[in-house]
Each structure stands twice: as C-alpha cells, then as structure tokens.
Amino acid sequence: MTEQHWILVRGLCRESRHWGPFATKMQKQLPNTRVSCIDLPGNGKLYKRPTPTSISELINELHRRHRPEQPVYLLGLSLGGIIAYHWMQEYPDDLQGIVMINSSLAPWNSPHLRLQPGAMPKLIKAMLSSGYQREKTIFDLTCSEIHHREETLSFWQMYQLEYPVSFDNFRRQLQLAINCSGQPYPPRKPLLLVSGAKDQLVNPRCSEQLADAWHMPHIQHAEAAHDLPHDQPDWLIQQISQWLKE
C-alpha cells in the first residue's frame, strides 16, 4: 500500500504545536499515513518573519518550502483551509485532495458570516494582551471541549512565550483571511468540508454554502466549536477515513 502524506496547516496566529495530540492520533489511526505540521510565516518557528499579505506570495512560498515529491493531502483549519484551497488551485499537481475545517471564502460567503458578530473585539483583545489572558481569550472563543482546559492553556502560554506572534503579523494574517477570495470555478481536487455547529468565530453556514456551490461533501459536528481538531479529534479522523474510502 502506498503511503499517504498529510500536511496540516493551522489558522490565525496559531502554530504547528497547536494541533496538540491530533496529528499523532491521525498518524496512528489512518493506516500507512505520515503527518507533517507546518508553520506559516509569522507563526511558530517563523514568528520573526512578516506574514505575506498576498495569498499568491504566501502560496508560492509554501510551495517552494514544502513541495512534495509525491502528491499529498492538505488539511487546513480556518485560514489554513483558505490556504489549502488556493494551494490546490495554484499547484494542483502537489495535491491529492484537501479537507477544509471551519473555513470561509469570498465571494461564496458574505462578510457577516465569515466573522461572527462579537468575534473581532475578542480577537483584538487577545492580541493586545499576553500570557495566560491572551490564550484564555482565544481558547474560550475557539473551543467548546473544556476537559484539560488548564493543561492546554499552560501549553499554549508556553508556545506564546517561546514564539510570540506580533500584533503586526496578527493584523497581516487577519487582512489575508478577509481580503483573499476564491476563483469562480470549482475545486480542482477532491474536497471535504467540515464544520462545528458551535463555532463562535466563523459561522458554520459558510461550510454549507461552499459545499452547495462546489457540490462537495460537508459534515458537521453538533457540539464542536471552531477548533474542531481540539474538540473532537477522534470523530474528525473517523470522518476523514470514511471520506478517503468513498
């Protein structure tokens, strides 16, 4: 059996370590699978670099840094899903398929759905604060599963202290997410849309609208929030496994 390689891409101001145990679970539960987590410029180990505000510039850089020898699958959360979509359109030969989790795209999704009412003040509050308070604000905005909350927050605070995301890179990433839009043609590879019904950041209707427009499958978890891999990792992996079989 040929090995499947998955590349995981996080969203706004998050880095590869924010996948937590999900990446390891995915590698163990999907047979013959290798999982890689990458950082966007401005996040994680690349926190000192400015985040490109052009989606084409960002995709070209990711293609240069992570161009696979064989086609891979991309799994993107939020902004990571937007990036996965554009990667697929720009370099389809890099990919076998993509999974977009709680993502949105103009022109298919309207601005008031792409950013839930009340989410922007909380995002700004998070980025103007630091340490525990910043991570607590982000956790409460993006997660619904509160088991091991304090343990998770301690890890997130440690990540922030080691690789702090600047307010300027936060602004650049938010600008990137808001301003980039998709081409008026359907996805060029198989695609799965996943959403959390309790998402407080991106309205889950966005995933439904994209699925309807592209005639692609969409599944939703009734209790999950924006950070679905944190809230329901086993369920998500099970859905991906079923999608791969179909």
Half-sphere exposure of 245 (CA within 13 A, CB side): 8
Query: What confidence category does residue 1 fall into, taking pLDDT thresholds of 50, 70 and 90?
Result: low
Distance of CA 227 to the CA centre of its chain: 8
Does the model's pTM come out above 0.75?
A: yes
Task: Examine residue 41 and say whether the peptide bond preceding it is cis (omega within 30 degrees of 0).
Answer: no
Query: Which pLDDT belongs to residue 191?
Result: 97
Whether 184 shows a pLDDT value over 80: the answer reads: no
Scanning the structure block, which residue is given the tokens 């905005």?
Answer: 141
Residues 61-70: tens digit of each pLDDT:
999 999 888 8
Q: Count Cβ atoms below 10 Å from residue 223 Cβ, excluding itself.
A: 12
User: What would the CATH number be for the domain defined by 4-245?
Assistant: 3.40.50.1820
Q: What digits encode the pLDDT tens for the residues 26-50?
A: 999 998 999 999 999 999 999 999 9
**Which one is predicted more confidently, 184 or 227?**
227
Q: What is the mean pLDDT of the chain?
A: 94
Bridge partners, residue 181, by sequence: 106
- pLDDT single digits (tens) 59-115: 999 999 998 888 999 999 999 999 999 999 999 999 999 999 999 999 999 999 999
Under DSSP, is residue 101 helix (H, G, I), strand (E, B) or coil?
strand
Whose tokens are 């991570």? That residue is 135
CA 19 → CA 125, 209, 244, distances in Å?
A: 23, 26, 21
The burial of 126, by beta-carbon neighbours within 10 Å (0-12 exposed, 13-18 middle, 19 or more buried), is given as buried
pLDDT tens for 129-160 read 988 999 999 999 999 999 999 999 999 999 99
- Sketch the domain layout of the chain as residue ranges: 4-245
Residue 188: what pLDDT?
86
